[in-house]
Amino acid sequence: MLLSTTLPLAEAYDLALVDLDGVAYKGHDPIPHAADGLTDARRRGMRLVFVTNNASREPESVADQLTGLGIATSPDEVMTAAQAAAALLRHHVEPGARVLVVGGAGLLTAVTAAGFEVVAGADDEPVAVVQGFAPTIGWRELAEAAYAIERGALHVASNLDLSLPTERGFAPGNGSLVGAVVAATGVTPLSAGKPQPDMYRLAVERSGASNPLVIGDRLDTDLGGAVAAGYPGLHVLTGVSSARDAVLAPATERPSFLAADLRGLLEPHDAPHEEQGWWALRGAAARVVDGRLELDERSRGVDAARVACAAVWRATDGGTLVDPASVPDLGV
């Protein structure tokens, strides 16, 4: 169920593990209230680490972009899927081993820094292929990956996101490119990115935090990773997953808190409570009757989403099948 806190989230948690695309920015464009929300959260004592499934960019590049958008960031406050993939490689491959890198500069740097020898193709006999997104990847790079994997190389993916948000809409993500290699080889890769918990745990360990909060816009990766890691998660409604998606989310992807945007860090959060069969919060109320969600006509905004989550999650967890068609868009 949703959690409550009497303190603003920025004061109740000592570290925010913040997603990038769909949370801090969208493509090259800022997301409204992101800079103000994160800057004010820092003033209140919350530390930030930006945790991204993007493996194509160097932490320095990510930090520069965030700083340019009004979110002052240093490279050591960025944890990328490339760094997580290199850490995962270390658990499976001997130091100094040959690795074929299919991806961008960020992945190349991370694998090299981890002590592996980067090779150009399958004929160099790599013991592993590590694959991350870069917009320049084409058929030749995917073919070399497939050849190496067919010959026995371990396949590691930085992440399996099927899509990524851009200023023009959603484009194929690394998971789509990985899928082409999987279709050719039949080999399922290891994945370092969200929703696997490795990146979150690495970021928390590096920061020394004791009470982290995950912030994301995607239920399947950001919030799924939070659940897998055992950390509470804030779902902001500025990116991929909608309020309706949260209501219908399986237990493995449910957030602990909901907010329209990053201003939600600066507020206490009340959880809905049950009253005579209804889940209520301020003026909003919801219940499930005969497998259908009912919302009180006064229910509006994020509170409507919160009570709908409470009602549907309780019903679903109790074995009731809730008709998805009864869950409206909610308009948040």
Q: Which residues are catalytic?
A: 19, 21
List, in sequence order, every beta strand (DSSP E) within the chain.
15-18, 25-26, 29-30, 47-52, 78-80, 98-102, 117-119, 128-131, 154-157, 163-166, 169-172, 190-191, 212-216, 233-236, 257-259, 273-275, 278-281, 284-289, 292-295
What sign does the dihedral 13-15-20-26 (CA atoms) show?
A: positive
Tokens of 134: 């870069």
Query: What is the rounded CA–CA span in Å between residue 133 and residue 204?
Result: 24
The CA–CA distances, whole Å, from 283 to 89, 196, 304, 315, 328 equal 51, 37, 9, 21, 18
Strand 15-18 and strand 47-52: the pairing is parallel
User: Could you tell me what percentage of the chain is helix, strand and coil, using 3-state DSSP and rounding each to the nearest 5?
Assistant: 40, 25, 40
What sign does the dihedral 238-241-246-252 (CA atoms) show?
A: negative
Paired strand residues for 240: none
